[in-house]
């Protein structure tokens, strides 16, 4: 799965996610990526979110919207929200997950609960940052 979130100069947020699914997945299986609120979500007033990982678990967690809800209703920052969302249903649902999110100030939240997530961000005129492991 690949994805992106962005804030433009007019203050609007957007999210996009695209995937090839699981290797040898059952014919007809659809994962979280195209499910709005599960793998992808954006509201310019709060956050834009894209998810990767185990799709069934992400769908059952309604993960992208969970990040939105934690920010809107609990008042968490974008990093706090992704940190809380990734482990929110750890016992009931579990699953390897990765989340990227961006708030209306261009702040980035990133989290994953497995060995790595291929990821990067670039804010305004700053240099780009690209990471794979906990580097």
Q: Which of residues 7-36 bind other proteins (CB under 8 A)?
A: 7-31, 33-36
Q: Where are the beta strands (DSSP E) in 54-107?
A: 97-102
What tokens appear for 115 in the block? 């060995």
76/101 with CB nearer other proteins: 101
Site size toward other proteins (CB under 8 A) is 77
CA atoms within 13 A on the CB side of 129: 11
76/108 with CB nearer other proteins: 108
74 lies in the binding site for other proteins (CB under 8 A): no
Catalytic annotation on 1? yes
User: Which x/- pattern over 99-128 shows residues binding other proteins (rule: CB under 8 A)?
Assistant: -xxx--xxxx-x-xxxxxxxxxxxxxx--x
User: Which x/- pattern over 53-72 shows residues binding other proteins (rule: CB under 8 A)?
Assistant: xxx-----------------
**Min separation Cβ 8 and other proteins, Å:** 4
Structure-derived torsion over alpha carbons of residues 115, 68, 34, 17, reported in degrees to the nearest 10: -50
Nearest alpha carbon to residue 89 among 14, 16, 24, 38: 38
Q: Which of 1, 17, 40, 52 is catalytic?
A: 1
Residues 6+ apart with CB under 8 A from 21: 29, 31, 55
Q: Which residues are catalytic?
A: 1
């Amino acid at each position: 799965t690949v994805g992106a979130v962005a804030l433009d100069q007019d203050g609007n947020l957007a999210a996009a996610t695209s995937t090839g699914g699981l290797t040898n997945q059952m014919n007809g299986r659809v994962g979280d990526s195209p499910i709005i609120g599960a793998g992808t979500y954006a509201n310019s007033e709060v956050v834009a979110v894209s998810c990767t990982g185990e799709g069934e678990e992400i769908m059952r967690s309604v993960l992208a919207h969970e990040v939105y809800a934690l920010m809107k209703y609990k008042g968490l920052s974008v990093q706090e929200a992704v940190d809380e969302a990734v482990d929110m249903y750890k016992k009931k649902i579990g699953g390897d997950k990765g989340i990227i999110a961006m708030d209306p100030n261009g702040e980035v939240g990133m989290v994953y609960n497995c060995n790595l997530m291929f990821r990067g961000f670039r804010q305004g005129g700053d240099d780009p940052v690209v990471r794979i492991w906990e580097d």
